[in-house]
Structure 1
Amino acid sequence: MCIATRQIEIIGVPLDLGQQRRGVDMGPSALRVAGLIAKLEALGHTVTDGGNVPLTVAETMHRGDDHAHFLKEIALSAEQTSEFVQRALAHGATPIVLGGDHSVAAGTVAGVANFFRAKDESIGLIWLDAHSDINTPETSPSGNVHGMPVAALLGMGPAPLSDLLGWSPKLRPEHTVLVGIRDIDETEKENIRRVGISNIYTMRDIDELGLRVVMERATLAASTGTAGYHVSMDMDWVDPEDAPGVGTPVRGGATYREAHLAMEILADHGGMLSFELVEVNPILDERNRTAELAVQLTCSAFGKKIL
């Protein structure tokens, strides 16, 4: 087994302000306990743990606007996350960000995009999720910011996240790919049309085309005209039969083998700049098996093969 080894930096973001089911702040710990660092090192990678982005807990804060709960605090954590990510990239490392809820991605992607913007380059995004996460405060039925990061990164708002680091948008629609989507709010459908994302692969597309075709199209769209792409994986993109420890499970997700195949194709393609793993909730899990699967999938994304 020949693997292109990398210098990797682990960054924990134990953020749970973007949604209402508590426990996802323990996700980074669960992933570390599941042996993420040792298993990546066993593949030949050099791994350092950059620690956690410092955060305050929800009980010490007011939830703020009903249309975007804890937005001010989430924006502050996103700025700090972007700094951690940019530092890792400047050191020549590939950042692996461990969430937390998916609002974490607003900071992660901003950091990667800002780093490459300084080189006059743009980045792509491959978003593996049951949800499209393209609500805004005006369209969100819940006010949960973990349903807004894609909108923020495409410049649709909310402004404290869209305008992070002083510029917007962080992504172009043609370089943004959503994979595994199967639960979209009616208001999000209009947002998708308005911003012009065409690279959306629902579970029906995966059923009809096959996962290999979908991932080949995803890597092509995210890498054409870019420095490479960020991969953001919400564990609810996997079917809850295999990944029960998530806050918003939706039946009919990627199977165990489809999820591994997606990661293996990413590893083969070689265009990944950074990686993110979110929404592991140990309180809702069964003997940490969602975290253990997440670690296995990360290893596949970083080169582990069957043979």
Structure 2
Amino acid sequence: MTKQSISLIGVPTDIGAGHRGASMGPEALRVARLAEKLAKRGLSVVDRGNVAGPMNPWQPPVDGYRHLAEVAAWNHGVFDAVRAELDAGHLPIMLGGDHCLAIGSIAAVAAHCRAQGKTLRVLWLDAHSDFNTALATPSGNIHGMPVACLCGNGPKELVEVGGHVPATTPDVFRQIGIRSVDDMEKQLIRDAQVQVFDMRHIDENGMKRTMEEALAGVDANTHLHVSFDVDFLDPTIAPGVGTTVRGGPNYREAQLCMEMIADTGRLGSLDIVELNPAYDKRNQTAKLAVDLVESLFGKSTLIH
């Protein structure tokens, strides 16, 4: 059996965020030895370096969007990089960067799935639904909009990344750990019928049942994409994010989530986003993210 081939793609930008610092995320993950830890798991790992894009001009929103042209440029770069790795038979891991970058990443995965006749399932691990539009968001920060854009609800420049509109449909998403949603955004999510497993659902049913529901119907023809926003985790264990929201999954719940995804054997691509070393303590959040990603690739606490 050949080794599974992993490609790391750094995307060092906070272009869609409300705080500076997520641009340092890729380097923090490298410092936390992501490549070495995955190689120890028997995976073949190549670091492709960083996607290039425009500087963050740090301007106020224009017509409801901050940095729209720059966000589009970064996402085109991400789309091309992720698509190239998928076409070469590699599993791409996007090292973000803020969550607006999932537009390019997931659009590339969706294009790959269409070409291969595969069914796409996206597990969106996040404190936020990221289903905002210019009308629903007070800030105009595009890292709150990627799911909406992927589903065709957003500006032309972002909805058309990858050339297929919409890039995905709402039914491919399973949102897990949600606990902070804007009022107008709630209605948009309800209208789109996105499947949301919020923290109340996890509290009432436990992570095991929640993940069984989120993974229901995944089969041999499913490409599983995990979009892991580090603010999914409770800030007591993961302080290194710009938008902390109390009451997220604890360490064991997060581990179980990752282990159950690994058990499917269907993981095909991954985003790690919103890691902000400027808010971190001694790189502990990056180390935790790497620890959880190891579990995504089969590291278990059990003795096999």
Q: Do they fold alike, i.e. is TM over 0.5?
A: yes
Pick aligned residue for 1:58 from 56, 61, 68: 56
Whether the 8 Å CA contact 1:122–1:171 is kept in 2: the answer is no
What pairs with 1:100-179 in structure 2 (closer than 5 Å)?
100-179=97-176
Question: Match of 1:165, SS?
Answer: coil
Unaligned runs of 5+ in 2: none
**Distance apart, 1:172 and its partner CA:** 2.2
Alignment correspondent of 2:201? 205
1:38 and 2:36 equivalent?
A: yes
Runs of 5+ unmatched residues, structure 1: none
Which of 286, 292, 296 is equivalent to 1:291? 286
CA gap of 1:5–1:205, structure 2 versus 1, over 3 A, is farther
Count of residues in correspondence between the two structures: 302
Q: Distance in 1 between matches of 2:295 and 2:118?
A: 27
Task: From the superposition, tell whether residues 5 and 220 of structure 1 become closer, same or farther in structure 2 (CA, over 3 Å).
Answer: farther
Q: Is the 8 A contact 2:220 2:266 kept in 1?
A: no
1:134 and 1:90 map into 2 onto residues whose CA distance is 29
TM-score, structure 1 normalization: 0.94
Moved more, 230-239 or 161-170: 161-170
User: Of the candidates 247, 251, 254, which is equivalent to residue 246 of structure 2?
Assistant: 251
Report deviation, 1:123.
1.3
State the Cα distance separating 1:157 from its structure 2 match.
1.3
Q: Distance in 1 between matches of 2:104 and 2:155?
A: 13
Quote the residue 2:213 is aligned against: 217
User: Corresponding residue for 1:281?
Assistant: 276
What is aligned with 1:305?
300
8 A contact 1:4–1:303 mirrored in 2: no
**Structure 1 residues 4 and 133: alpha-carbon distance in aligned structure 2, compared to 1, 3 A threshold:** farther
Distance in 2 between residues matched to 1:280 and 1:161, nearest whole Å: 23
Aligned mates of 1:210, 1:183 — CA distance in 2: 19
Closer, same or farther: CA 113–296 of 1 in aligned 2, 3 Å: same
Write the distance in 2 (CA, Å) between the matches of 1:266 and 1:235. Answer: 17
Deviates most, 20-29 or 117-126: 117-126
Aligned Cα root-mean-square deviation (Å): 1.7
Runs of 4+ in structure 1 off by over 4 angstroms are 61-64
Alignment TM-score, normalising by the size of structure 2: 0.95
C-alpha separation between the residues in 1 aligned to 2:13 and 2:191?
Answer: 29
SS at match of 2:235: coil
